[in-house]
Amino acid sequence: MNTVSLRSPPISETLHRHRTMARTRAKHSSSPSRHWLLKTEPSNWSWSDQAANSNLTKWDGVKNKQAQSHMKSMHLNDLCFFYHSGPKSRRVVGVVRVVKEWYEEAGEGVVDVEAVGEMRRPVELGEMKGDEGLKGFVLFRQPRLSVVPVEEGIWRRVCELGGGYDGDGRDDGDGDDEAAEG
């Protein structure tokens, strides 16, 4: 006779399972990963908070229907810019990876993400707006959305402006000038 346990596994076990599922899907998926930008007020949730939380968090609290639709479109291993919003700190500060796709918890939608790495140099909003290679970035057209898609060329350009990010495969200092692929 099989019994069902209602006890949740420890977070380390859950994280390991999510990472294993993400690796498996990446190996067998024919669709390329997509890129996103996730906004947060540093006073509510900062890059430092992300790092202090074992690099894993539930991305929740998104109320806008269009932003929720973007979250529902996220897949395992999609990369996201971690963007600090607010009047004093509008900039891309890091990169996170989707480790659990959209699910509902306590009546709201959630996507789990883990930190991949900090930008080698934060990329300020003003710098992005002044860059010809970033014309048409959804962030500029829909500045109030907390979750926006990022096209491949824009992803590469923002990574280039920030010198890449820790964990992008360019950490070894081998002089490779290729843009971060993600």
Q: If you average pLDDT over every residue of the chain, what do you get? A: 83
pLDDT score, position 43: 93
Burial label, 137 (beta-carbon count in 10 A; 0-12, 13-18, 19+)? buried
Read off the pLDDT band of 87 (50, 70, 90).
Answer: confident
Rounded CA separation 43/24 (Å): 36
Apex 64 CA angle, 84 and 50, nearest 5: 30
Read off the pLDDT band of 32 (50, 70, 90).
Answer: low
pLDDT score, position 31: 53
Judge contact between 109 and 70, C-beta under 8 A. no
pLDDT score, position 143: 92
pLDDT score, position 6: 34
Q: Which of 115, 99, 91 is nearest to 167 (CA)?
A: 115
CB within 8 Å of 135: residues ≥ 6 apart: none
Rounded CA separation 55/32 (Å): 24
Read off the pLDDT band of 163 (50, 70, 90).
Answer: very high
Q: What is the mean pLDDT of residues 97-120?
A: 97
pLDDT in tens, 10-29: 444 544 444 444 444 444 34
Residue 100 — φ and ψ, nearest 5°?
Answer: -150, 125
Rounded CA separation 64/75 (Å): 19
pLDDT score, position 15: 46
